[in-house]
Structure 1
Amino acid sequence: MKLIAENVFQIPLLPRNSINCYVIDDILIDAGIRSSANNIFRALKGKKITKHALTHAHADHQGSSSVVCNTLNIPLWTSEPEKENAESGNVTDEYPNKKHLIARFQRKYWAGGGLKVSKILKEGDTVGSFTVIETPGHSRGHISFYREKDRVLIVGDTLVNMNLVTTVPGLHHPPAIFTTDKKRNISSIKKLFALNPKILCFGHGPVLIDNGELERFMRKIH
């Protein structure tokens, strides 16, 4: 685990930060793909985790959720629109083209089993020292997590900080083939920008200590 801020840790699950999950306080945020469980358990060794929350229930974020929750005997929290997919494990059904080769690959090799959701998260709820921000678009019920005191933002996939083909770092919209509503996602990006975040933690790409990168990105989408 890599310390990002007070009680905030990044767990890179694939090389070059291409898939990440995070620990905030005693809560695991996201859980990578199905084969990520052992990496997560190694990273968490000696640290008590009491809850698991998802930014969204896509295959590269809930892949190890059921294993982690069952092994650690902890509850799963999601937003209301993500609950059905998280509980069924049908986590590629929302993709614009769920029959796409990559979608079929993710469903077969990345997606984890379904698990009962114990708590529904909504705008303004507290998750540890963070606040839930509803950021739909990439998925119907995507949420982010923000801590105002030091402006740390868990972005999920509202934005990605790498080219997912070349792995070169840089801010991008999430891939269209996995994004339910691109216009709505742009509105969510603007909502997060208005929070004036300083440290941005992404599902894909390295953590960004913002020195104007986000503002420059925003100029391109207005």
Structure 2
Amino acid sequence: MRPLAPGVHQLLGRPPHLVNAYLVEDVLVDAGTPSARKRITRQLDGRTLAAHVVTHAHPDHFGSSRAVCERYDVPLWAGQRDAEAIATATPATGPGLVPALMSRMPMPDAHPVARGLREGDEVAGFTVLDVPGHSPGHIALWRDHDGVLICGDVFFNVLRPSAPPKFLTYDDELNRASMRRLAELRPKLVLFGHGRALRDPDRLSRLVG
């Protein structure tokens, strides 16, 4: 694992930084695709895990969630409005042909969500922020005292910081509002679902204009 901030580690990926998962104290945040199961569990074995949080109901984020929860006997938590999508493995899709076709692809194993997270809840020293758009119940995690933000897919950082692809986003306009909200926090460290960590408080602000 790669240490990024006190109590925050990034799990090593293959290829690096393409699909990220994080260990925050004793909570795993996101679980990649189904094919990431062995890679994730190799890094978690021997550690104490209390819960698993999914930032949003997309299969590259809850792909190995069932395997993780069953192996370590921990509860799965997610944004309240994404809970059913994860529990039934039926993510909400945006408009258009491509999302419709993607919805017919095989989905990861479903798993019950033990706790629907709401705005203001606390997870391992982070505050839950309700930032919908990329999915209906997308959440971010914010630690105010040192400016660490786990933003899920509200932003991507593949090659450069950007909005997520529209065809993967449930409501692009709503996600833009969530982007503006997170940028206004001026985080000192941004951790993305896709891409390298960013240590530039002004970069997100410049992106949203």
Q: Check the 8 A contact 2:119/2:130 in 1, yes or no.
A: yes
2:10 maps to which residue?
A: 10
Deviation string, structure 1 residues 133-175 (Cα, Å, up to 9, x no partner): 000000000000000111000010000001xxxxxx2111101
TM-score of the pair, normalised by structure 1: 0.89
The runs of 4+ residues in structure 1 deviating greater than 2 Å are 93-100
Distance 1:212 1:161 in 2: 14
CA contact (8 A) 1:12 1:19 kept: no
Backbone CA RMSD of aligned residues: 1.4
* Identity %, equivalent residues: 37
Aligned counterparts of 1:95 and 1:53: Cα–Cα separation in 2: 23
SS of equivalent to 1:61: coil
Aligned residue for 2:30? 30
* Equivalent residue number for residue 81 of structure 1: 81
Distance 1:12 1:177, change over 3 A: farther
Kindly report which structure 2 residues correspond to 1:103-122, keeping only aligned pairs within 5 A, or say none: 103-104=103-104, 107-108=105-106, 111-122=107-118
Aligned residue pairs total 207
User: Which region of structure 1 is more displaced relative to structure 2, 56-65 or 208-217?
Assistant: 208-217
The two structures have a TM-score, normalised by structure 2, of: 0.94
Cα deviation, 1:113-138, whole Å, max 9, x if unaligned, reads 11111111000000011000000000
**1:204 paired residue number:** 194
Which residue does 1:99 correspond to in 2? 100
Q: Secondary structure at the match of 1:161?
A: strand
State whether residues 154 and 178 of structure 2, in contact with CA within 8 Å, keep that contact through their aligned partners in structure 1: yes
What SS class does the counterpart of residue 207 from structure 1 fall into?
A: coil
Q: Mind listing any 5+ residue stretches in structure 1 that lack a counterpart?
A: 163-168
SS of the aligned residue for 2:37 comes to: helix
Q: Distance in 1 between matches of 2:64 and 2:205?
A: 34
